[in-house]
Structure 1
Amino acid sequence: MTCVGDEDDPFPADHCLFAETFSQDNLYTLVGQELKIRQVFGANLGVAAPVWEAALQMCRYFEEQCVELRGKRILELGAGTGVVGILAARLGAAVTLTDLPLALPQLQANVSANMPSSGWPSPPPTVLPLSWGEDHMNFPSDWDLVLCADIIYLPETYPLLVETLAHLCKNGAVVYLSSKMRKEHETPVFFKERLPNRFNVELLHRDERQNINIYRASLRTDL
């Protein structure tokens, strides 16, 4: 079965994506690592099913800027297929991937499918449920990096996300956010107004063609 939708739209109009469950495997070569990522499309996963371009751009940015991931304690929010966190784990980071409970089977399957033949260079990635603003207090605050790839598209979740990030970063973690800048979902407002209320925010990279921005943020200490 073949379905075509707009990959830039977090809510694909093509209803056939949700008519039945089907999967698609894709190979990605990122930072010298070959990842096999399965995308499971169906009514339950919705936006967690695809590999979004913003996630791939974050991986490429890390490579181009030689961002050191080895040995880092990393948490990914809204990991979806897990491509960013899995890459970090393959490069030697200790990674915890989080998403809503319905997304976890796909996430865990991709983690298992991408274990290097020689084993993970650091502790195997952990996959855990995390609902922003609800159970974030169950997580520690001693991360080095928090990664967020294309998770800014539902305005009602923005206060919960900022609250969650503030908890995760209170001991100095740096956040990297890669996002399609969707005006209709107030994504620019999040980065211009909501996130700066609690964080110092720096624009690192902009892709005009894809309308994707990459930001770095750290918790403000002047509040």
Structure 2
Amino acid sequence: MGSGFNFPQNLSIQPSKPPSHLFTLDEINEPLSQHTDGGNHINILQSIDQYGIAGRVWEAAYVFTSYICPPSHLQIEFNPSCPLLAKSGDRGRTVIELGSGTGYVGLQLAKYLDSQSDIVILTDLTDVCPLLEDNASRMLADLNQSPGAEVWVRPLAWGNSNDARNLASQLGLLHSASTPPRPPTHIVCSDLVYFTDLLAPLLRSLIYLTSPPFASPSSHPPVQVILSYKVRSLQKESPFWFAFGAWFSFHPVLYRHKKVPPSQWNRFGSSTSSFVFVATRKQETLGWTVPEDDTALMGRGDMAFEQILLFDMES
């Protein structure tokens, strides 16, 4: 995967704006500003100029951060509740974000985690890491409160086994490690499913990060993968979800209002053509050999995504 993907031909993008609603039009009367305005630690215009599509905050990021911290005046609940905010037993949370770009999602998340025990690891291509380092530094300088989780920035090209192994070493997950192991508890992805040439590498990285040495069949609780996704071209994107379903069990996040009697459950993100999925590896796949050929990797699949779309259309 090369950095040329961040500067596709005829690139012409503008900074995104937080949507005025993420639920339905009659459920909110003001923009989601307190946690979706991007924060003054990200200089978006400059980031787009220097880093292309990696420098833009994409729409699914706003959906994701609303899952982390919904507007308080809406009084809603999620099913499942955001797993990123739940303690993972006796160990701290170790969150790896793939394709972090500006770091918007990971840095927003870090604010809500524990500075004593939690780590958020922002990853992207090597030449995007300076943007992540700069934005992380700006966020820490802007905060007048506890900085939240410890933030790391690491290079991780999708599908690159050497990058994955280097990260495993830094987390103390290899036999030769001299530091206490910090296996990942969560993998975070936002708006990554689009470029067809990157679908197999993205899936390969998700498989790497939920396989030994990052995870084992006895891992409890299992590594959770949370993906925020905006539909742009189903024809391009559906093959990823087909192949993803062979390796992972996943379901969309639902929401409802807290009232008596409770409102019905609705799919979160439906008003913006977006999904948030919570996923875990299928146990039987932990013994599978990962195909070296991308075509073979993408050729094995499951129809779960199509069933979710069909349910959406019928409801």
TM over 0.5: yes
Aligned partners of 2:13, 2:104: CA distance in 1, in Å? 24
Structure 1 partner of 2:252: 203
Structure 1 partner of 2:137: 112
Q: TM-score of the superposition, structure 1-length normalised? A: 0.79
User: In proportion to residue count, which structure has more helix?
Assistant: 2
Q: Is the 8 A contact 2:194 2:233 kept in 1?
A: no
User: Are 1:190 and 2:240 matched, yes or no?
Assistant: yes
Q: Is the 8 A contact 2:63 2:269 kept in 1?
A: no
CA shift, 1:28, in A, is 5.4
Aligned partners of 1:28, 1:101: CA distance in 2, in Å? 31
CA shift, 1:62, in A, is 2.1
User: Are 1:154 and 2:181 matched, yes or no?
Assistant: no
Q: Secondary structure at the match of 1:109?
A: helix
Q: Give the 4+ runs in structure 1 shifted more than 4 A.
A: 10-17
Q: Secondary structure at the match of 1:36?
A: coil
Pick aligned residue for 1:176 from 213, 221, 226 = 226
Structure 2 partner of 1:20: none
Structure 1 partner of 2:107: 86
Rate the CA distance shift 1:16–1:126 in 2: closer, same or farther, 3 A.
closer
Pick aligned residue for 2:95 from 67, 70, 74 = 74
CA shift, 1:36, in A, is 3.3
User: Are 1:122 and 2:149 matched, yes or no?
Assistant: yes
Q: Which amino acid aligns with 1:96?
A: I
State which structure, 1 or 2, has the greater radius of gyration over its C-alpha atoms: 2
Aligned partners of 2:224, 2:158: CA distance in 1, in Å? 18
Pick aligned residue for 1:139 from 167, 179, 183 = 167
Q: Which amino acid aligns with 2:224?
A: V
CA shift, 1:35, in A, is 5.8
TM-superposition CA deviations, 1:68-91 (whole Å, max 9, x none): 167421010000111111112111
Structure 1 unmatched ranges of 5 or more: 1-9, 18-22
Report 1 or 2 for greater relative contact order, CA contacts < 8 Å, sequence distance ≥ 6: 2
Q: Secondary structure at the match of 2:34?
A: strand
- More deviation in 110-119 or 168-177? 110-119
Q: Which amino acid aligns with 1:77?
A: L
User: Are 1:218 and 2:267 matched, yes or no?
Assistant: no
Structure 2 unmatched ranges of 5 or more: 1-6, 19-31, 71-77, 174-182, 216-221, 254-266, 286-315
RMSD: 3.0
Rate the CA distance shift 1:11–1:211 in 2: closer, same or farther, 3 A.
farther
Aligned partners of 1:79, 1:199: CA distance in 2, in Å? 21
Name the count of aligned residue pairs.
204
Q: TM-score of the superposition, structure 2-length normalised? A: 0.57
Aligned partners of 1:90, 1:113: CA distance in 2, in Å? 13
Q: Is the 8 A contact 1:181 1:188 kept in 2?
A: no
Q: Is the 8 A contact 2:41 2:135 kept in 1?
A: yes
Q: Is the 8 A contact 1:182 1:188 kept in 2?
A: no
User: Are 1:36 and 2:41 matched, yes or no?
Assistant: yes
